[in-house]
Chains A and B, each alone.
Chain A
Amino acid sequence: MMTISHKSMEEIRIKARELLEKKDADGVLALRRGEEAVVAPHVFREPGEIGRLVTEPKWPLAKTAMRILQSSPRDFRLAVVVRGCDDRALVELAKRNQVTEENIRFIGLACTEEQAGRCLCERPYPRTIHGGKPQPGVHFLQDERVSSLLEGDPAERMARWAAILRRCIKCYGCRNACPICVCVPCKLEDDVWVEKGSIPAEMLVFHLIRAFHLSDACVACGACQEACPVSIPVMALQFAMRQALKDRYGYEPGLDGARKSPVLKNFLEEPETGKDYPAWITHGGTGHE
């Protein structure tokens, strides 16, 4: 197993070095193993530095890449070492006009099967792969950690969630870690929606508003629950909505930059599969009866 990740790391290094040597990118954002074996994100600018580039551990870089691009000159081209989730997150950020895809060079890294299982990732590989081999994904219901949360009748489930969410210390870590959460101002900081100074956060207005704002954008990277200091499985709130979008509209966030969320469109442009609507809908316009 060690050799696999080593091999994929070498492949990534070769691609990164090539990009810098050909001057295809002005910098490569990746993890660097520094002194005392400290691993941290770093923008490599010289091909000579690439020897210190590492790919482990998993570190979502999408938001970091966004911040770097936003504070750089417009023509700055940044290459980013992306896993599947980073790749999808950057596509979603591009849809929201936070980054321009032309400025990004994707260096794709496929996760190992073990990592996919740990993250509950359905698609543990980016669109283009430069390092590693694509592994099959894991469906969220296959995993006991999630299925045990979602089973039972509503009252049981509500009691379970209420007990879990009562642990919340309202640190906003889930929001800050999320690669898609970029709104300024954020509703979770607004007294109208979330009462200030009350801990734990209210179940509905804090957690469900946060979850719903990401309903059609969540790329299931798991950054929110990895950031949670009291280990609330916040991503489990997203799975059912992701599945609903997939079943109803065949939509998965982050796969296609040109396709906007189906909930923003009407039934003519984004029809719901398996549902019949009266024939007169297809005529379009405001067909008043």
Chain B
Amino acid sequence: MNAEKNKQGLQGGEKKGKAGAPSPKILVFACRWCGGIGAGRAGWKRMDLPVSFRVIPVECAALVEPDAIFRALASGIDGVAVLGCHIGGCRYNEANHAALKRLELVKVLLDTAGIGGRRLLLAFGTAHEDHQFAEVIRNFHEFIGKEPSLKPWLGAGEDIFLRREE
């Protein structure tokens, strides 16, 4: 069944969006030492994965600016995942500690604004944990699919000056 899903995805998201429910869009920032390799291996092993995610490799999870997460959500991404090395296994002087602290604060802000902190996923795994990557992404895909779309609230919106003239 999953192979069928994958096939549909390969044929192009557009078609699928028109026929069935629109697929959520997930952006994954994966550190190149752990998360990125894990993601690569999951694909290489042909694990069951949703087609809704795209991976951007980064040097370290700490290099993912919170601003990039906001920018991604504003440009129509439904969920953002940041994958780093295990806490304690960072290659850059525990930079992922700082990343975790910072991104947990982002969650607080997203919650305050009502966007929901759970749209941001933080996960830490090693390079050989491809099974974990697949599971995390599958669960996240399922969760994001149930969340309402952000579209009505985001974007520059309608022009208030135009609206006033009406």
| B5 shortest CB reach to chain A, Å | 28
Residue of B nearest to A230 (CB): B160
Q: Is B108 an interface residue (CB 8 A)?
A: yes
Q: Is A199 an interface residue (CB 8 A)?
A: yes
| A243 shortest CB reach to chain B, Å | 8
Residue of A nearest to B100 (CB): A267
B109 with A241: CB separation less than 8 A: yes
B113 with A203: CB separation less than 8 A: yes
B98 with A265: CB separation less than 8 A: yes
| A180 shortest CB reach to chain B, Å | 16
**CA separation between A162 and B150, bound complex, in Å?**
11
Residue of A nearest to B118 (CB): A154
With A216-B105, A244-B108 as contacts: A205 and B86 at CB distance below 8 Å? no
CB-contacts of B89-121 with A (<8 A): 89-91, 93-94, 97-98, 101-102, 104-106, 108-116
Contacts of B156 in A (CB 8 A): 195, 198-202
Q: Is A45 an interface residue (CB 8 A)?
A: no
Contacts of B112 in A (CB 8 A): 150, 157, 236-237, 239-241
B114 with A154: CB separation less than 8 A: yes
0/1 per residue, A144-186, Cβ < 8 Å to B?
0000001010111111111000110100000000000000000
CB-contacts of A40-63 with B (<8 A): none
CB-contacts of A255-279 with B (<8 A): 262-268, 270, 272, 277-278
Interface size bracket, B side? 35 or more
| A172 shortest CB reach to chain B, Å | 16
Contacts of A244 in B (CB 8 A): 104-105, 108
B74 with A241: CB separation less than 8 A: no
Q: Is B66 an interface residue (CB 8 A)?
A: yes
CB-contacts of A182-224 with B (<8 A): 187, 192-193, 195, 198-205, 207-209, 211-212, 215-216
Contacts of A277 in B (CB 8 A): 87-88
| A191 shortest CB reach to chain B, Å | 12
Residue of A nearest to B73 (CB): A204
Q: Is B44 an interface residue (CB 8 A)?
A: no
With A241-B109, A262-B101 as contacts: A208 and B70 at CB distance below 8 Å? yes
With A158-B114, A263-B105 as contacts: A286 and B91 at CB distance below 8 Å? yes
**CA separation between A215 and B70, bound complex, in Å?**
14
| A interface SS class | helix
| A154 shortest CB reach to chain B, Å | 5
Contacts of B67 in A (CB 8 A): 187, 193, 205, 209, 212
**CA separation between A270 and B98, bound complex, in Å?**
10
A289 with B153: CB separation less than 8 A: no
Residue of A nearest to B107 (CB): A244
Contacts of B97 in A (CB 8 A): 265-268
Q: Is B12 an interface residue (CB 8 A)?
A: no
**CA separation between A99 and B93, bound complex, in Å?**
30
Q: Is A4 an interface residue (CB 8 A)?
A: no
Residue of B nearest to A155 (CB): B148
With A263-B102, A286-B93 as contacts: A237 and B88 at CB distance below 8 Å? no
Q: Mind listing 27 A-B residue pairs with CB under 8 Å?
A: A155-B114, A159-B153, A161-B114, A166-B160, A199-B156, A200-B156, A200-B157, A202-B156, A203-B154, A205-B70, A205-B71, A208-B70, A209-B70, A212-B66, A215-B109, A216-B105, A237-B112, A237-B113, A240-B111, A241-B105, A241-B109, A264-B98, A265-B97, A267-B97, A286-B90, A286-B91, A289-B86
Q: A166-B157, A201-B156 are in contact. List 20 more A-B contacts (CB 8 A).
A: A156-B114, A157-B112, A162-B157, A187-B67, A193-B71, A202-B74, A204-B115, A207-B113, A208-B113, A209-B67, A212-B66, A237-B109, A266-B94, A267-B87, A268-B97, A272-B101, A278-B88, A286-B91, A287-B89, A289-B86
